[in-house]
Amino acid sequence: MREGDGLDLELHRRLSAGDREAFELLYRRYAPSALGLATRVTRQQALAEEVVQEAFLALWRAPEAYDPARGSFRSFFLSLVHHRAVDTVRREERLRNRTQRAQNLEPVRGEDVAEDVVEDAYLRVRREEVRNALGTLPPEQRQVIELAYFGGSTQAQIAEALGIPIGTVKTRTLAAMRKLRRALYPEGTA
Amino acid sequence: MTEEHDRIEELLAGYVLRSLSGEDAIRADRLLSEHVPSCPTCRRTLAELRELAGELGLAAGASSPPTPLLQGIRRRIDGVARPSRLPRRVGALALAASVVALAITSGLSVSLGSRAREAEAQRGTALEMLSLMGLPGTEPVDLDPQGGTPDRARFVQVSAPQVRRIYLAARECPDPAPGHAYQLWLGSGGTFVPIGEMFRPVDGVVLLTLTLDVSRYDEIWITEEPVGDPPPSPSPDGRSWRAEL
């Protein structure tokens, strides 16, 4: 268990009992990161705020969706935000009938943390660790992670945009994820 | 780790990044329901990849949420109490029972792709569903019509703990638009995968059964899609029904 995880577990336990204060404390802890992630994926502030609002409402309505046995609350919640953000991007794409996103597939440099964001020190430290780990990846591996995770692109779209076989996209993705895992969880995730 | 496990890990890596589509997404869902639950190596791999994928989100940075965001969440929480399962359960059971009765007595066709269209099969399916509804812990779920979907068109999903089957029933279900059919999706953490073949109602009734472990999912969604391969994610623009599991 990492720093901050214990408090998350306690807040989640209280939230599961219907404690509004615990919910708002979790909001204060994770809303800035959630909004940063949703903004990065959707590239639109209004859509990002909608994603974050829906994610927190989903947490309030069904806190049991998080199972502490399956990992950290932080990872669970950011995954929830990520999935909703990607779904939103794809829905918007369909609505605009865009046939390709090639122009938007350039990797985006990691935005900094806004100056007025107040967050726990452990989150700042972990954010730096994650960014450093991403920075150690070979450019071609980092590119596929950026396009898939932050660009919301499917592996098939990435292959088409980069002009490489989808098998290469899969190979690079797996290699990148293995390196990231070794860098961020040198002793395993448990 | 075997070569086969390398291939599985490759698929799971794409799955946790939400980047699979088409056949790969279907293969992943099959793996997640059939192989992963019984394979300690794959369960551990999936858990590690999920944890990593979540934490990757930190790299995006952080933005100070505007005050109205929390105010909006508070308003919506105050406006809608946490859903109580009991009334929904009673309504869902009644709906399921009415569809079973229709299926048993009227000889209507079962909508399950090209399989099990005979009347005997539909009666068998209906009786299985009836039997499941009597098991302890059975949790019927009433799906909410979304957007402009008629309120009278109701779907219910029935499953029971330790039973790797689900039953989906509907009555007064409108025919999909020309060139379209309905697709069942199951979601976990906001990620949806298409389940089974597309289907159409017969005389407004749908009764289908699928073998899978529904406990891995937290949402169910039925959408109207163009006939053919399902899109990478559900289309919310046509008729649809949705519920938390």
CA distances from A171 to A132, B49, B91, B170 (A): 22, 15, 49, 43
In 3-state terms, what secondary structure has residue A150? helix
Q: Do B72 and A33 touch (CB under 8 A)?
A: no
Nearest chain B Cα to A184, which residue?
B52
The CA distance from A141 to B120, in Å, is: 55
Mean pLDDT on A153-181? 96
Average pLDDT (A96-118) is: 51
Which residue range forms the structural domain that includes residue B134? 85-244
Q: Percent of chain B, pLDDT > 70?
A: 76
Query: In this structure, are residues B63 and A117 in contact, taking their beta carbons and an 8 Å threshold?
Result: yes
Residues of chain A with CATH 1.10.1740.10: 1-99
Task: Work out the angle at residue A139's Cα, subtended by the Cα atoms of residues A136 and A140, and round it to the nearest 5 degrees.
Answer: 130
Lowest-pLDDT range of A124-138, A143-157, B88-102, B143-157: B88-102
Per residue in B150-164, pLDDT (tens digit) is 777 778 888 766 667
Write out chain A residues lying below 8 Å of B50, CB-based: 70-71, 75, 79
A103 vs B125 pLDDT, higher one: B125
* Statement: residue A98 has pLDDT above 60: no
CB contact under 8 A, B58 and A111: no
**pLDDT band at A26; cut points 50, 70, 90:** very high
Residues B204 and B90 in one domain: yes
Average pLDDT over residues B2-27: 89
Report residue B129's pLDDT band, with 50, 70 and 90 as the boundaries. confident
Instruction: Identify each DSSP E strand in A44-173 by its residue range.
Output: none
Residue B103 lies in a domain: yes
Query: Identity (one letter) of the amino acid at A149?
Result: Y
B51 with B125, same domain? no
The answer to whether residues B114 and B201 belong to one domain is: yes
pLDDT band (50, 70, 90) for residue B120: low
Quick one: B43 and B105 in the same domain?
no
- Asked if the C-beta of B240 comes within 8 angstroms of chain A's C-beta atoms, the answer is no
| Cβ contact B48–A188 (<8 Å) | yes
- B117/B49 same-domain check: no
Are residues B128 and B211 part of one domain? Answer: yes
Amino acid B80: pLDDT: 56
Q: How many domains does chain B have?
A: 2
Q: What is the pLDDT of residues B171-183, one digit of tens each?
A: 788 888 888 889 9
**What is the tens place of the pLDDT at every residue in A42-70?**
999 999 999 999 999 989 988 888 988 88
Query: Which chain B residues are within 8 Å of A94, Cβ to Cβ?
Result: 231, 235, 237
Q: Name the residue of chain B whose CA is nearest to A70's CA.
A: B47
DSSP per-residue string spanning B22-89:
HHHHHHHHHHHHHTGGG-HHHHHHHHHHHHHHHHHGGGG---PPPHHHHHHHHHHHHHSPPPPHHHHH
Interface membership of B51 toward A (CB under 8 Å): yes
B88 pLDDT band (50/70/90 cuts)? Answer: low
Interface of B with A in 196-235 (CB under 8 A): 218, 231-233, 235
The answer to whether position B70 is within a domain reads: no
Inter-chain residue contact B22 with A156, CB threshold 8 Å: yes
Nearest CB to A170 within list B14, B16, B63: B14
Q: Is residue B239 part of a domain?
A: yes
Residues of B in contact with A165 (CB under 8 A): none
Top-tier CATH class for A1-99:
mainly alpha
State the smallest CA–CA distance between residue B240 and chain A in angstroms.
Answer: 15
Please answer whether residues B145 and B180 qualify as being in contact, where contact means their C-beta atoms are separated by less than 8 angstroms.
no
Residues B13 and B90 placed together within one structural domain of the fold:
no
Residues B96 and B150 in one domain: yes
pLDDT of residue B180: 87
Residue of chain B with shortest Cα separation from A117: B64
Residues B56, A134: C-beta atoms closer than 8 Å: yes
Q: Of the CATH numbers 1.10.260.40, 1.10.287.950, 1.10.10.10, 3.30.300.30, which one belongs to the domain with range A104-190?
A: 1.10.10.10
Q: Is the pLDDT of residue A154 over 90?
A: yes
Assigned domain for B10 exists: yes
* CB < 8 Å from A in window 56-115 of B: 56-66, 69-70, 72-73, 76-77, 82-83
How far apart CA B89 and CA B84 sit, in angstroms, is 9
Domain co-membership, B104 together with B35: no
Q: Is residue B7 part of a domain?
A: yes
pLDDT at B34 over 70: yes
pLDDT attached to residue B87: 46
Give the mean model confidence (pLDDT) for residues B95-106.
64
Q: Same domain for B49 and B90?
A: no
Q: Hey, are the CB atoms on B61 and A36 less than 8 Å from each other? A: yes
A85 burial level (CB within 10 Å; 0-12, 13-18, 19+) = buried
Q: What is the pLDDT of residues B225-242, one digit of tens each?
A: 888 888 888 987 888 888
CA distances from A161 to A79, A165, B24 (A): 25, 10, 18
Do B159 and B218 share a domain, yes or no?
A: yes
Would the pTM count as exceeding 0.80? no
Task: State the average pLDDT over residues A162-188.
Answer: 94
In a domain, B181, yes or no: yes
- The Cα–Cα gap between B90 and A174 comes to 47
Residue ranges, comma separated, of all CATH 1.10.10.10 domains in chain A are 104-190
Contact A82 B18 (CB under 8 A): yes
**A144: confidence class by pLDDT, cuts 50, 70, 90:** very high
Contacts of A134 in chain B (CB under 8 A): 56, 59
Mean pLDDT value across residues B52-70: 93
Residues B50 and B119 in one domain: no
Report the Cα–Cα distance between both ends of chain A, in Å, rounded.
7
C-beta separation of B127 from B229 below 8 A = no
Q: Which of B76-85, B190-199, B211-220 has the highest mean pLDDT?
A: B190-199
pLDDT the model gives residue A101: 43
B15 Cβ under 8 Å from any chain A Cβ: no
* Cα-only R_g, chain A: 17
**Is B78 part of any domain?**
no
| Helix A20-42 / helix B67-79 crossing angle, nearest 10 deg | 120
Instruction: Give the residue, A24 or A104, on which the prediction is more confident.
Output: A24
